[in-house]
């Protein structure tokens, strides 16, 4: 629509002038919203006729929303905003901050204040001054456009928040009041009405699909306004199941039974609702579902956008992370805010060269002492060849803290940890002759040698005695020490020692560095007595891991892999260990979850036929871990090639048990795997390609 010519307005008189002015004021927000924006790791872009112009580059942009006359941007530096897309400002005051310790090449120490990763951003549908965001552990509400924030806490004591939303819903008396929703990886969904009861989160997970140990994760929460009623909808992350909330009965109604019966792994996120139609992002594309007839149109791709194919291809090929698609490009009356656009990207089309190097590696772990023996080496080499493997993981710094090669670095040698070494040059030469990819396993913070060094200089301390801390349990009334010895994960000398080893191993010919025990101690009745002398003001456990990995990433010029607990690869939480996949994926190239079936609850995915349980765990777990990392890393699980006398393994453990794990990985993301057997016994492997 064209605006009136200024000269004509002038001659029309005051009444016409006032009318034109009112029309102009009314129309300005419409024009402001008629803007196609995209965000990526490089910043914010404006798209005109599919020509791209960068307009802001201070942060990676993860989501774009509109709140009245203010643009909102979820970024890797917190929440940013702009009113004109020229001047930008942050709304991070009163939001929590992490203190990251930075050590430069000269050993100088500085501290960086960093906003924790924000999980979501949603604006109140009728009040643009109200919006919500969340860290992995707390929900935050603003009522004044981000000037101040209220900490609403969370519905669980451990981190794992995925999505939030805010709107008005009826209270017990039928009055509409401010209501906040949250979804949590292991605690399901919950709601709170902070003006009614600020303290209480109420569970609202009935009707949602259950997982092995609780409600399956919800990826996004949206609303649909029909007459005077607000209807809440959501989708579950790893199944794509969609639901409508019956607020009166507090139960979710499944909308797409067909998908529930298919039981396929599919990721759905970033929901929008316009004109009784839900739009969203699904692996490989966009989808729409008519809410009036959901079972007939779920996950179809009609032309929801003008120039649909062009828009989809543009978003997919450009590695954008989010987009704001204006009303002018939709066939409905509304804008689309699309996030999680990494779901559209080609998993193999990554700018990180280390991903290509580390992809597709399949191998075995070998104890170092077996690599010193010619017969043992030949036996392991035969295992690799017979099973069509191509990788070898070897302890170069083990759980005792012993460095297993003759280092020439004085900074390494001074800690007196070099013991029981092998001929590393001979090993590397042999491995390279067989085209074997060499992975150096470095046990980081569990280190008996460093724990004892200089009378416990680097040990975690007992806050009661001041002596080096060691966990214990009580059995039959007797204290029994846990045979684990922990160095302080906050200590930069501990970081340097481990990274010095990694750098030297890379220079000698190792292809990849694998960090194990990249965590804090988790066991012992006296865990609360553990004190960390090198902890700086404002730092926490997550800060320590982030700081160490950032330091490692800066210095190590090779793929970095890390080992994590299976539960931390399954759920979006760093409970107990601090091993939060979304966080770790920012600093490493490979994540190796230990999805050992023996280590999960024995009923975990053990439905009939029960013998397929190892397949299910690795098939679903690999997929989940990959998506939680937003496809940023290679996921290379550890496969269980050992027997533990738990109830399920007593009945089912054999070579088929091991093979089913591999089939599960291959039928899932298929990026590699490593067999683990602590004693180097691999008689339970079936040659690659043999069926069950």
What pLDDT is recorded for position 27?
37
Q: Give tens-digit pLDDT for 251-287.
A: 999 988 776 666 788 899 999 998 888 889 998 888 8
What pLDDT is recorded for position 555?
96
Q: Give tens-digit pLDDT for 483-513.
A: 999 999 999 999 999 999 999 999 999 999 9
Q: Give tens-digit pLDDT for 646-677.
A: 999 999 999 999 999 999 999 999 999 999 99
The contacts found for 82-91 with CB under 8 angstroms, 24 or more apart, are 82/56, 85/35, 85/37, 85/44, 85/46, 85/55, 85/56, 86/55, 88/56, 88/58, 91/142, 91/145, 91/146, 91/147
The 3 state secondary structure assigned to 309-336 is: HHHHHHHHHCCCCEEEECHHHECCCCCE
410 CB burial (10 A radius; 0-12, 13-18, 19+): exposed
What pLDDT is recorded for position 327?
84
What's the DSSP call for residue 362? E
CA distance 230 to 247: 9
Say if residues 35 and 324 touch (Cβ distance below 8 Å): yes
What pLDDT is recorded for position 262?
67
Give the lowest-confidence range in 60-74, 315-329, 617-631: 315-329
CA distances from 662 to 454, 635, 645, 659 (A): 45, 13, 21, 5
What pLDDT is recorded for position 31?
41
Question: What is the chain's mean pLDDT, rounded?
Answer: 90
Indicate the SS3 state at residue 200: coil
| Between 377 and 687, the higher pLDDT residue | 377
CA distance 18 to 432: 82
Q: Give tens-digit pLDDT for 231-257.
A: 999 999 998 899 999 999 999 999 887
Q: Give tens-digit pLDDT for 520-544.
A: 999 999 999 999 999 998 898 888 9
The percent of residues in the chain predicted with pLDDT above 70, rounded, is 91
**Does residue 71 carry a pLDDT above 90?**
yes
What pLDDT is recorded for position 167?
96
Which residues, in sequence order, are CB contacts of 380 under 8 Å at separation 6+?
A: 364, 366, 370, 371, 392, 680, 682
What pLDDT is recorded for position 305?
65
Parallel, antiparallel, or unpaired: how do β-strands 512-516 and 437-443 relate?
A: parallel
What pLDDT is recorded for position 293?
62
Tally of residues, the chain: 692
When pLDDT is cut at 50, 70 and 90, the band that residue 5 belongs to is very low
Say if residues 181 and 193 touch (Cβ distance below 8 Å): no
What pLDDT is recorded for position 20?
33
When pLDDT is cut at 50, 70 and 90, the band that residue 29 belongs to is very low
**Does residue 79 carry a pLDDT above 90?**
yes
CA distances from 39 to 68, 73, 350, 536, 647 (A): 20, 9, 17, 35, 50
What pLDDT is recorded for position 33?
53
Mean pLDDT of 39-46: 96
6 CB burial (10 A radius; 0-12, 13-18, 19+): exposed
Give the lowest-confidence range in 74-83, 255-264, 605-614: 255-264
| Cα atoms found within 13 Å of the Cα of residue 123, Cβ hemisphere only | 24
**Does residue 444 carry a pLDDT above 60?**
yes
When pLDDT is cut at 50, 70 and 90, the band that residue 316 belongs to is confident
pTM: 0.91
Indicate the SS3 state at residue 249: coil
When pLDDT is cut at 50, 70 and 90, the band that residue 10 belongs to is very low
Say if residues 243 and 205 touch (Cβ distance below 8 Å): no
């Amino acid at each position: 629509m064209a605006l009136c010519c200024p000269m004509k307005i002038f001659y029309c008189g005051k009444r016409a002038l006032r009318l034109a002015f009112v029309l102009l004021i009314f129309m300005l927000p419409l024009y402001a919203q008629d803007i196609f924006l995209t965000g990526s790791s490089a910043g914010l872009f404006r798209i005109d006729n599919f020509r791209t112009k960068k307009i802001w580059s201070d942060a990676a942009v993860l989501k774009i929303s509109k709140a009245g006359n203010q643009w909102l941007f979820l970024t890797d530096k917190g929440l940013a905003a702009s009113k004109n897309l020229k001047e930008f400002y942050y709304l991070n005051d009163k939001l929590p901050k992490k203190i990251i310790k930075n050590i430069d090449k000269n050993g100088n120490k500085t501290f960086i204040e960093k906003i924790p990763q924000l999980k979501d951003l949603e604006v109140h549908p009728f009040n643009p001054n109200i919006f919500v965001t969340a860290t992995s552990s707390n929900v935050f509400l603003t009522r004044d456009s981000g000037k101040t924030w209220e900490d609403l806490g969370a519905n669980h004591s451990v981190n794992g928040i995925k999505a939030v939303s805010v709107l008005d819903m009826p209270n017990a008396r039928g009055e509409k009041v401010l209501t906040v929703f949250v979804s949590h990886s292991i605690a399901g969904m919950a709601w709170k009405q902070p003006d009614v009861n600020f303290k209480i989160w109420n569970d609202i997970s009935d009707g949602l699909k259950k997982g092995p140990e609780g409600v399956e994760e919800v990826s996004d929460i949206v609303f649909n306004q029909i007459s005077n009623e607000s209807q809440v909808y959501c989708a579950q992350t790893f199944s794509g199941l969609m639901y409508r909330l019956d607020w009166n009965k507090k139960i979710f109604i499944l909308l797409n039974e067909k998908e529930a019966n298919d039981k396929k792994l599919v990721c759905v996120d970033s929901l929008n609702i316009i004109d009784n139609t839900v739009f969203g992002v699904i692996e490989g594309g966009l989808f729409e579902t008519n809410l009036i007839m959901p079972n007939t149109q779920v996950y179809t791709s009609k032309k929801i956008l003008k120039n649909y194919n062009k828009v989809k291809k543009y978003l997919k090929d450009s590695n954008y992370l989010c987009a704001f698609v204006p009303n002018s490009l939709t066939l409905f009356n509304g804008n689309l805010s699309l996030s999680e656009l990494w779901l559209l990207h080609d998993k193999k089309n990554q700018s990180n060269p280390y991903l290509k190097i580390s992809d597709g590696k399949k191998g075995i772990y070998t104890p170092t002492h077996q690599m010193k023996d010619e017969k043992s080496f030949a036996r392991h080499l035969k295992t690799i060849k017979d099973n069509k493997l191509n990788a070898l993981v070897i302890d170069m710094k083990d759980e005792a803290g012993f460095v297993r090669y003759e280092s020439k670095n004085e900074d390494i040698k001074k800690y007196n940890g070099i013991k029981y070494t092998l001929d590393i040059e001979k090993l590397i030469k042999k491995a390279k002759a067989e085209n074997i990819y060499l992975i150096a396993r470095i046990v980081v913070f569990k280190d008996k040698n460093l724990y004892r060094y200089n009378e416990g200089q680097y040990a975690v301390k007992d806050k009661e005695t001041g002596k080096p801390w060691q966990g214990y349990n009580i059995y039959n009334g007797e204290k029994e020490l846990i045979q684990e010895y922990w160095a302080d994960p906050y200590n930069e000398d501990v970081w340097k020692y481990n990274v010095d080893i990694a750098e030297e191993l890379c220079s000698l010919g190792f292809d990849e560095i694998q960090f194990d025990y990249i965590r804090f101690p988790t066991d012992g009745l006296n865990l609360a007595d553990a004190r960390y002398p090198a902890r700086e003001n404002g730092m926490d456990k997550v800060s320590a891991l982030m700081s160490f990995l950032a330091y490692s990433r800066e210095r190590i010029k090779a793929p970095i892999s890390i080992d994590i607990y299976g539960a931390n690869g399954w759920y979006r939480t760093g409970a107990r260990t601090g091993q939060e996949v979304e966080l770790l994926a920012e600093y490493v190239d490979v994540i190796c979850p230990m999805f050992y079936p023996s280590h999960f609850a024995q009923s975990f995915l053990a439905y009939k036929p029960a013998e397929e349980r190892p397949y299910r765990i690795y098939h679903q777990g690999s997929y989940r871990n990959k998506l939680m990392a937003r496809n940023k890393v290679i996921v290379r699980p550890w496969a269980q090639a050992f027997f533990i006398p738990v109830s399920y393994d007593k009945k089912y453990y054999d070579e088929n048990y091991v093979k089913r794990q591999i089939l599960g990985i291959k039928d899932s993301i298929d990026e590699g795997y490593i067999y683990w057997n602590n004693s180097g016994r691999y008689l339970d492997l079936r040659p690659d390609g043999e069926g069950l």
